[in-house]
Chain A
Amino acid sequence: MKERIFLKKKFKEYYSTLSIEEIKINGLRKREFGFVMFEESGMIRHKAFDSVNKLAEFLREYTPAHAYYSSAYYEHPSAENMNEKKWTGADLIFDVDVDHISTSCKNKHDKWTCLDCNNIGIGIEPKICDICGSGRIESKKWVCQRCLEVAKAEITKLVDDFLLNDFGFNLKDVEIVFSGHRGYHVHVYSKDVLTLDQNARREIIDYVRGKGIDVYFLFGKHSYEGIISYGSSINEPGWLGRWSRGLYDYIVNIKGGIKEKMRLPEKISSLLIKNMNKIIEGYSTNNKPLLSPLALSLKSRNLKLLVEEIAEEYGVKIDEQVTLDVKRLIRIPNTLHGKTGLKATTVKYDLLDSFNPLTDAITFKNGKITVKVDESPEIYMFNKDFGPYQNQIIDLPVYVAVYLIGQQSAKLL
């Protein structure tokens, strides 16, 4: 309890000095707001504000642990019945969360416990316990610098290759936000996406993820008869060039002995290895892969698998549900995340490269406090390593203490 009071006090400090400029929100009056408070579980929903000042006042006075707004715009955002709200449109939102991406460092910092037989393991939790078969598994996940770098690389690919190049969105309509915890959000405010329904958003998701690519599209009508000679050039626009570059990377990686994480059937990968010199030869003379010897020995089903696997590998690993949902509540940029105390920081496109959330999103930079840490892996914040800790009473900078308390891994004395 006193931990929550402490967090709330710190958050209040932040909100009382927060400039209105930082929470400027497009179409604020048409959005629904939702909050999770420190005092109670569950979300307060269907709130609406008619000015940014009122919102700032609310944040200062009530100081929520989490603050969200709807990606949707409504005629009556505060109506409690979703139909009465009268949906008029929604931003296009992308969410890249390291939860959904397997990173090797997860074996270092993530753990799970089976609630039925107390079996424990490290890394990504299994769907069912490998000992007792129970599905009741509790996991404790942490993020590290490396996880967040992987997420940032995905976001860079999303914004550069897809949103700006292929979809042609204006940079001024694209907002990149560190989520305050495990990843990044991208908000697209273009009028071209405003009224798109779920079917249309599904197509955008599949495009970005690399799902549903067609052999015919890449190789033309005769591909299934096995008379493909060349794939598309690496310089071609959109997925034609992207796929071709993907295949090139894949083959070069195999050649260089780098183990690939793609799940291709043994038969296909051995064929690729057998033919890799010929394929690369095509690239060096024409910028295209020479595929005929390979394609001739691939059955159409296998060729389809190869094409799809490479496309999915080179797509962006976004959380589909977030983009699909046209009534989603999403964290308000530049508010604090109740589980980390980090700021959901808006990141300027030009500065994305050098942005480091575990430094740049830190809010409570001053002071130290003594806490009792139950358990924590090594964490890296503000250019310093802390921990690992196990049942330790220790003096920590406030930002580390807030982070560990938010993660429920530390208590006040």
Chain B
Amino acid sequence: MNAKNSVIDLSLFARYPFLSDAGNYVSMFNIDIDDLSKPEHNEILQEAIREIYEVVNGVSEVKHIDDYIKLMAFPVILALLSYIGSKPLINKYAIKKAKEVEEALRHENDDVLCYVASNGFNWTIKPTEKSVFAINFKDYLIASAMFNDQSWKLINQILINGLVYLSKSRLIRLMAAEVQRRIMQIELKREEPPEGIRSIVLKIREAIKKTIFERHDYLEVSGPINTEHFPPCILSIYNDLISGKSVSHIARFILTTFLVSIGLDVDSIINIFQRVADYDPDKTRYQVEHIVGKRGSRTKYATPKCENIKTMGLCLGNCGVKHPLNVYRRRIREKHERKNFFEKKVQGVL
């Protein structure tokens, strides 16, 4: 959209604050994070806080916000999120923002769509005929990684000479996914928040604790492992192993990384391998310690993703997740929530 290069359209910037033109506009005001506590910027800070609480509380209110305030609040929200340091909160905000952008994009014409894609994401994009767009396959691959659905696989696209052809509605979904992906990538700040926003950050951290966001702490096992939460691929390897069947090197690798991730220590894992026919204590210890990252390159190996397990021919079912640990997490969480529910009920009776 050529006119947009010279004309500042505040309403457009407020709708798509991730545009680099919008970023340039915001930086003209040169507001430092410590300036936010000053009265003249109070409205911006308050808007940022309000949007974050909407995410924390899972509510959403229809409210008219001035374009300037809305635009200026966006970088403040990102800064607050990175200091608050909760990945789940960032992910939830990313989803919310993506939905908002998707809704807004539906009302735009083809020119604006192309402008947002190229100025916002640096995509190579060109309209071909009415409401059909061609984008570079690299940009497509990166953004479409957010989707699990088969219809988004590259093989199910029209790909000609490096360009993927998309209908308007699919382009809009892809752009929303890209917004989500980019926000999810913001890095957590390790250092203490600056004075100007410290009390706010601490307050939001407290508020999150009361919600169900931070539920990782009960994921790790203590005591005997409970195989009923294992996904089918891992369970099958585990069962083969303890029944003394021959298990390939790669399958042992997958199982080990999985067991490490759910919190088993080296000795407990070696214990499991003891039941194997060709058990060799030194070799096993070496290999397990290698995977844990205590030896060799000191890399801690992660459990392969579902698609890689599929490639290896070890996937046994459609669990509807991208990573075997997700099945485990989900089942543990469900159990945890059920337990809480019953405990509450019991308390209620008493």
Q: Could you tell me if A203 and B138 are in contact, using CB atoms closer than 8 angstroms?
A: no
**Chain A residues with CB under 8 A of B308:** 198, 324
**Chain B residues with CB under 8 A of A202:** 307
Residue in contact with A199 in the complex, picked from B138, B145, B157, B246, CB distance below 8 Å: B145
Q: Could you tell me if B159 and A217 are in contact, using CB atoms closer than 8 angstroms?
A: no
How far is it, in angstroms, between the C-alpha of A204 and the C-alpha of B156 when the chains are bound?
Answer: 12
B155 is an interface residue with CB less than 8 A from chain A = yes
Q: Could you tell me if B137 and A167 are in contact, using CB atoms closer than 8 angstroms?
A: yes
**Chain A residues with CB under 8 A of B144:** 203
A200 is an interface residue with CB less than 8 A from chain B = yes
**Chain B residues with CB under 8 A of A135:** 246
Q: Could you tell me if B141 and A204 are in contact, using CB atoms closer than 8 angstroms?
A: yes
Q: Could you tell me if A203 and B246 are in contact, using CB atoms closer than 8 angstroms?
A: no
A193 is an interface residue with CB less than 8 A from chain B = yes
CB-based nearest B residue for A166: B159
Q: Could you tell me if B158 and A196 are in contact, using CB atoms closer than 8 angstroms?
A: no
B62 is an interface residue with CB less than 8 A from chain A = no
Q: Could you tell me if B161 and A168 are in contact, using CB atoms closer than 8 angstroms?
A: yes
How far is it, in angstroms, between the C-alpha of A240 and the C-alpha of B160 when the chains are bound?
Answer: 11
**Chain A residues with CB under 8 A of B157:** 238
Residue in contact with B156 in the complex, picked from A83, A193, A196, A214, CB distance below 8 Å: A214
Q: Could you tell me if B156 and A212 are in contact, using CB atoms closer than 8 angstroms?
A: yes
A192 is an interface residue with CB less than 8 A from chain B = yes
Q: Could you tell me if B158 and A238 are in contact, using CB atoms closer than 8 angstroms?
A: yes
B104 is an interface residue with CB less than 8 A from chain A = no
Q: Could you tell me if B162 and A192 are in contact, using CB atoms closer than 8 angstroms?
A: yes
**Chain B residues with CB under 8 A of A192:** 136-138, 162
**Chain A residues with CB under 8 A of B160:** 165-166, 168, 237-238
CB distance from B272 to the nearest CB of A (A): 21
How far is it, in angstroms, between the C-alpha of A206 and the C-alpha of B153 when the chains are bound?
Answer: 9
Q: Could you tell me if B162 and A203 are in contact, using CB atoms closer than 8 angstroms?
A: no
How far is it, in angstroms, between the C-alpha of A204 and the C-alpha of B136 when the chains are bound?
Answer: 13
A239 is an interface residue with CB less than 8 A from chain B = yes
Residue in contact with A204 in the complex, picked from B154, B161, B298, CB distance below 8 Å: B154
Q: Could you tell me if B162 and A196 are in contact, using CB atoms closer than 8 angstroms?
A: no
**Chain A residues with CB under 8 A of B297:** 80-83
Q: Could you tell me if A216 and B154 are in contact, using CB atoms closer than 8 angstroms?
A: no
With a 10 A CB-CB cut-off, give which of A82, A167, A169, A240 has the most chain B CB atoms.
A167
**Chain B residues with CB under 8 A of A206:** 153-155
Q: Could you tell me if B138 and A196 are in contact, using CB atoms closer than 8 angstroms?
A: yes
Classify chain B: how many residues form its interface, as a range: 20 to 34
A189 is an interface residue with CB less than 8 A from chain B = no
How far is it, in angstroms, between the C-alpha of A2 and the C-alpha of B157 when the chains are bound?
Answer: 57
How far is it, in angstroms, between the C-alpha of A294 and the C-alpha of B317 when the chains are bound?
Answer: 29
Q: Could you tell me if A203 and B141 are in contact, using CB atoms closer than 8 angstroms?
A: yes
Residue in contact with B159 in the complex, picked from A167, A199, A324, CB distance below 8 Å: A167
B340 is an interface residue with CB less than 8 A from chain A = no
Residue in contact with B153 in the complex, picked from A166, A212, A237, CB distance below 8 Å: A212
**Chain B residues with CB under 8 A of A210:** 155
Within 8 A of B (CB), among A200-231: 200, 202-204, 206-207, 210-214, 216-217
**Chain A residues with CB under 8 A of B311:** 320-321, 324
Classify chain A: how many residues form its interface, as a range: 35 or more
B109 is an interface residue with CB less than 8 A from chain A = no
**Chain B residues with CB under 8 A of A214:** 150-151, 153, 155-156
With a 10 A CB-CB cut-off, give which of A83, A197, A238, A239 has the most chain B CB atoms.
A238
How far is it, in angstroms, between the C-alpha of A214 and the C-alpha of B141 when the chains are bound?
Answer: 17
**Chain A residues with CB under 8 A of B159:** 166-167, 207, 237-239
Residue in contact with B162 in the complex, picked from A169, A197, A216, A240, CB distance below 8 Å: A169
Within 8 A of B (CB), among A275-332: 311, 320-321, 324
Q: Could you tell me if B299 and A83 are in contact, using CB atoms closer than 8 angstroms?
A: yes
**Chain A residues with CB under 8 A of B161:** 165-166, 168
Q: Could you tell me if B150 and A200 are in contact, using CB atoms closer than 8 angstroms?
A: no
How far is it, in angstroms, between the C-alpha of A45 and the C-alpha of B299 when the chains are bound?
Answer: 17
Known A81-B297, A167-B159, A167-B162; contact A203-B150, beta-carbon cutoff 8 A? no
B56 is an interface residue with CB less than 8 A from chain A = no
How far is it, in angstroms, between the C-alpha of A212 and the C-alpha of B151 when the chains are bound?
Answer: 9
CB distance from B144 to the nearest CB of A (A): 8
Q: Could you tell me if B299 and A207 are in contact, using CB atoms closer than 8 angstroms?
A: no
**Chain A residues with CB under 8 A of B158:** 237-238, 240
CB distance from B299 to the nearest CB of A (A): 6
CB distance from B181 to the nearest CB of A (A): 11
How far is it, in angstroms, between the C-alpha of A198 and the C-alpha of B138 when the chains are bound?
Answer: 13
CB distance from A234 to the nearest CB of B (A): 15
B142 is an interface residue with CB less than 8 A from chain A = yes
Within 8 A of A (CB), among B262-313: 297-299, 307-308, 311
CB distance from A188 to the nearest CB of B (A): 12
Q: Could you tell me if B141 and A216 are in contact, using CB atoms closer than 8 angstroms?
A: no
CB distance from B267 to the nearest CB of A (A): 26
Q: Could you tell me if B154 and A168 are in contact, using CB atoms closer than 8 angstroms?
A: no
How far is it, in angstroms, between the C-alpha of A238 and the C-alpha of B311 when the chains are bound?
Answer: 24
- Chain A 219-261 near chain B by CB (<8 Å), digits 1 or 0: 0000000000000000001111000000000000000000000
Known contacts A192-B138, A214-B156; 8 additional CB pairs below 8 A are A82-B297, A166-B160, A166-B161, A192-B162, A207-B154, A207-B155, A212-B156, A213-B155
21 A-B contacts, Cβ less than 8 Å apart?
A83-B297, A135-B246, A167-B159, A168-B137, A168-B163, A196-B138, A200-B141, A202-B307, A203-B153, A203-B155, A207-B154, A207-B159, A210-B155, A212-B155, A213-B155, A214-B153, A214-B156, A237-B160, A238-B158, A240-B158, A311-B155
4 smallest CB-CB distances across A and B, nearest first, come from: A168-B162, A168-B161, A200-B141, A217-B156
